[in-house]
Amino acid sequence: MATEKNYYNLTEYLVVKYPDQTFRLDLIQDETALTNETFDNACEWNEENSLDKPIWNDFKDDFISTRSAKLQEMEDKKTADETNKASAKAKLIAGEPLTEEEAETIVL
């Protein structure tokens, strides 16, 4: 069974926010500690891009709120999956029919 993803990083955000732009982003250990200067140094923006290279302070609040929402979505999905799995197990033991969501949690 595949491991559930439990992170959302700056690269994912930039790919969605700037879908037609190409860039290279160095590994950033703590995205919350970024400044305009450290982002500028970590992000290599393709000269042929149609948009100017973004400035950290111009999008950091949106990134932080987007990341928080994505992490909450992942946590909610994990909780729902765990609940459905436990319910499916109990119903299987009791011989009761499963919901579609519960059935999807079973690994054959």
| pTM for this prediction | 0.73
Tokens of 33: 């500690």
Dump strand ranges (E) for the chain: 23-25, 43-45
pLDDT digits (tens, 9 = 90+) for 10-41: 999 999 999 999 999 999 888 888 999 999 99
Mean pLDDT of the chain: 90
Q: At 108, is the pLDDT very low, low, confident or very high (cuts 50, 70, 90)?
A: low
CA 3 vs. chain centroid, Å, equals 14
Residue 90's alpha-carbon distances to 80, 82, 102, in angstroms, are 15, 12, 10
pLDDT digits (tens, 9 = 90+) for 63-96: 999 999 999 999 999 999 899 999 999 999 999 9
- Find, among 106, 27, 17, the residue nearest to 70 by Cα: 17
